[in-house]
Amino acid sequence: MSIGQPVDQNGHVNIWHRRVMPTTAIAVAALMMSACAAGPVARTPVTDAPSQPASEVIVSPDPQQSAEPQTGAADVFRAWVEASRIPDVDTACAALAPDLQSRMIAEVNASGAVSVETCEQMIAAAAELYAAVGDDGAIDVAVQQETATNATLFVTYLASGDCGTVVMQRTGTEWIITDESQECAG
């Protein structure tokens, strides 16, 4: 973590400050101008750039796990990014652990860009901000480690160059993005 880097009470880098604050003025202006538009704003769908794994994927079976996952953690994360940009607030919020939802809501509110109370409001506001600055959610995902119940991904957002480590857990058949996820310090 860099000196002067905004952190929360748990020492996590404030990702909303780094990702949203530099573009807040542009986004707010674009949102205000779009409010006068005659129709809905067209959104660019999320695309995936070819990814190159940062390291070998480690997959170890869990004898306690009876149901097989529908998709791997990287696919679930890509689907989450897509849902967060559309926005499909129910799908996007369902993929976030409650502690991560709370942390992200606090970070959004601390940024001063918008004020939200729920995960659904946060996802909708973030989708509008990203659309206003032309961030389509294109990402590069490298699986650092994946087992039947845990995964660590390294993600780079192509529009901004921002990156982060995404930590996921699977209980039953669903992958959840945990509060251990952090943006790269820089």
Are 77 and 162 a contacting pair, CB within 8 Å? no
**pTM score:** 0.65
Query: Beta-carbon neighbour count of residue 93 at 10 Å?
Result: 20
178 Rama class: left (phi>0) / alpha (psi -120 to 50) / beta: beta
Write the pLDDT tens digit of every residue in 94-126: 999 999 999 999 999 999 989 999 999 999 999
pLDDT tens-place string over residues 10-26: 565 555 445 544 443 33
Q: What is the pLDDT of residues 77-95, one digit of tens each?
A: 999 999 999 999 999 999 9
- How many Cα atoms occupy the beta-carbon half-sphere of 154 within 13 Å? 12
